[in-house]
Amino acid sequence: MGSKSTPERLPVSDPFHGFAIVADGAQLLATEKQHDSETLLAGTLIIRYGIRYLGKPHLSIVPGLVALDYGDILNGEPAWEFLLRRSNLHPRAEVFGFRSDGRDEMIVVKNLDLALPPEVLAFTTENDTIPAARPVALIGSNVSAVPPRIRKYLPHSETLTSWRERSP
C-alpha cells in the first residue's frame, strides 16, 4: 500500500516591485519613490495575505496548508480559494501556517474571522516568516502592473497627498 505524503506548505504570494514606505505613521506600498515619506524597503517584495483571528484582528495567519476534516489537504491557491469561498462548510478544517508575528501556528477555521479583509504583509524573501512591513494602502498613478490580489485587498490612491486627504 502506498502512503499519501503531505504536501509542503505553500502560502499564496504575489511579487511587488516598488517601495514599502511610512507616511503619517502608516505603512504603505508605493509603485514609485514618494517624497515626504520614509522608505522602509525598496525592490522586489513578496506580498502574502493573512486571515485574521476571530476576536483578535491584530493577529492573522498566513495559510500554508489546510487539512479538511474528511482527509483532503490543500496548499497554495486551492487552499486560499477554499478558505475564502467554502470554509464555512468545514469549520473544523485545520489551517497550518505562520502568524503575522512570525510564530508557527495551527488553528481551526471556526476561529478565523473571514468577514474581515485579509491582512496584507510584505516580506523581503520567500523564506521569511516575520513581515518587514504591514501596508494598509497602495500608492501609485499607474497600478496596472500590480498583481490583482494586491489591488483587491489594499485601498488605492494615486498620490500620497490624495491618500492623506482620504485618511481619517
pLDDT above 90: residue 70: no
Pairwise CA distance, residues 43 & 132, whole Å: 13
Q: Is 2 a domain residue?
A: no
**Please, what is the average pLDDT of the chain?**
93
Pairwise CA distance, residues 104 & 12, whole Å: 16
The conformation of residue 11, written as its DSSP 8-state character, comes to -
Q: Is 94 a domain residue?
A: yes
Is 99 within 8 Å of 89 (Cβ atoms)? no
Q: Is 5 a domain residue?
A: no
Pairwise CA distance, residues 131 & 48, whole Å: 9
Q: Is 3 a domain residue?
A: no
Average pLDDT estimate for 86-113: 94
pLDDT in tens, 118-139: 999 999 999 999 999 999 999 9
The total number of structural domains that make up the chain: 1
**Strand 26-30, strand 38-53: pairing:** unpaired
Q: Read off the pTM.
A: 0.92
Average pLDDT estimate for 13-34: 97
The pLDDT, as a whole number, for residue 1 is 44
Q: Is 75 a domain residue?
A: yes
Q: Is 4 a domain residue?
A: no
Q: Is 7 a domain residue?
A: no
| 146 or 70: which leads in pLDDT | 146
Q: How many CB atoms lie within 10 A of CB 98?
A: 23
The percentage of the chain sitting over the pLDDT mark of 90, rounded to a whole number, equals 84
Average pLDDT estimate for 14-43: 96
Domain region containing 84: 13-166
- Band (pLDDT 50/70/90 cuts) for residue 2 is very low
Q: Is 153 a domain residue?
A: yes
Average pLDDT estimate for 66-80: 92
